[in-house]
Structure 1
């Protein structure tokens, strides 16, 4: 039960206050567990549990015949409107599941995104969390000069960056690999995932005897919408000094 304390708190909040926002989505949503589709639906909802990005909630009826969904216990403090559940396919299962019986979420199932092996929107894999339908990315080629430095050491200079503009976030500058001074970079083992850009790999930066971990990231296989930044490097704006057309930006 302790392992699901966050789900219990979430269910108590949603049954008493409702979600921040919930909207039906026309996307076909599927999720793999143990090599089989545990769910398949065109009736999913985007549910904003908080203002930042949505999660998929799917109808109970979308659970496939190859999967088994069993309600395990009623969640205290929800007046019987939410239950913990177990979803299993063959010998693999997850208890990171909540079934709702409250008005705005009635007969919908929340499955922890990370508990499934892979999620799909239509035939496209998605990572980390569902994409927000009100958020977009623009990638624009530019001839403006970008200079990156740290502790007085120039790390990169380019006159042909890619500007990545993501709704509600500051601009990011992706620089060609030939514009970077590689002697200051060492490979990191860190990997992160973004639903809009894909899997990111990282470099550490070493200047003046100090290592700054995961200060640079790049995408070897970005998503289709972010393809223009493939192989380019992006320095963490908030942690380095950046000059755009000779004017230094605030960190």
Structure 2
């Protein structure tokens, strides 16, 4: 399948098609928040994001930035060719529980050590996730966990017809 045509980028914007493969990790200077069940379950200014070609950034927050009891380890695992083996959490907030909506890399692969002790969540499963003052849009599909802000241009992996990219 042909590589799609990247959307035009204006000043202050980024193209997901300029992100590297293999991906890289970089610090985030904005405040990141996550709400579930009407409760602020995570709040930090110490996040990192993973950037990978054709994907919006995936944000990883320190596990200790989550409200106590918000992350409950659950069964199952997955493997990323770059980051290594992932473990999952059910996410609790207010009266809501979302199964396997967060993940971590307990022993991240070489080059991704900065993900140790950090957790990412599927934005689409939460009430709201913010980067700075902006509520994010979840990356299409549930396989990927990227967060789309107004500064990021696609098209993005996960959209219909993108499996062959």
TM-score range, shorter chain: 0.5 to 0.7
1:175 to 25, 42, 61: 61
Q: Which has the higher helix share?
A: 1
The residue number in structure 2 matching 1:143 is: 29
Deviations 1:9-30 (A, max 9, x none): xxxxxxxxxxx69xxxxxxxxx
C-alpha separation between the residues in 2 aligned to 1:140 and 1:165? 8
Aligned residue pairs: how many? 121
Structure of greater Rg: 1
- Normalising by the residue count of structure 1, what TM-score does the alignment of the two structures yield? 0.45
Q: Which has the higher strand share?
A: 1
* Alpha-carbon shift at residue 193 of structure 1 (Å): 0.6
Deviations 1:80-138 (A, max 9, x none): xxxxxxxxxxxxxxxxxxxxxxxxxxxxxxxxxxxxxxxxxxxxxxxxxxxxxx82211
1:246 to 133, 139, 161: 133
Alignment of 1:63-212 (within 5 A): 135-212=21-98
CA contact (8 A) 2:87 2:105 kept: yes
The residue number in structure 2 matching 1:230 is: 116
CA contact (8 A) 1:172 1:237 kept: no
C-alpha separation between the residues in 2 aligned to 1:139 and 1:237? 19
- Normalising by the residue count of structure 2, what TM-score does the alignment of the two structures yield? 0.67
C-alpha separation between the residues in 2 aligned to 1:149 and 1:211? 12
* Alpha-carbon shift at residue 170 of structure 1 (Å): 1.5
C-alpha separation between the residues in 2 aligned to 1:244 and 1:201? 24
Unaligned runs of 5+ in 2: 4-19, 139-165
Q: CA RMSD in A?
A: 2.0
Runs of 4+ with >6 A deviation: none
* Alpha-carbon shift at residue 141 of structure 1 (Å): 1.2
* Alpha-carbon shift at residue 178 of structure 1 (Å): 1.9
* Alpha-carbon shift at residue 166 of structure 1 (Å): 1.4
SS of equivalent to 2:88 = strand
C-alpha separation between the residues in 2 aligned to 1:142 and 1:207? 24
* Alpha-carbon shift at residue 233 of structure 1 (Å): 0.8
* Alpha-carbon shift at residue 225 of structure 1 (Å): 2.1
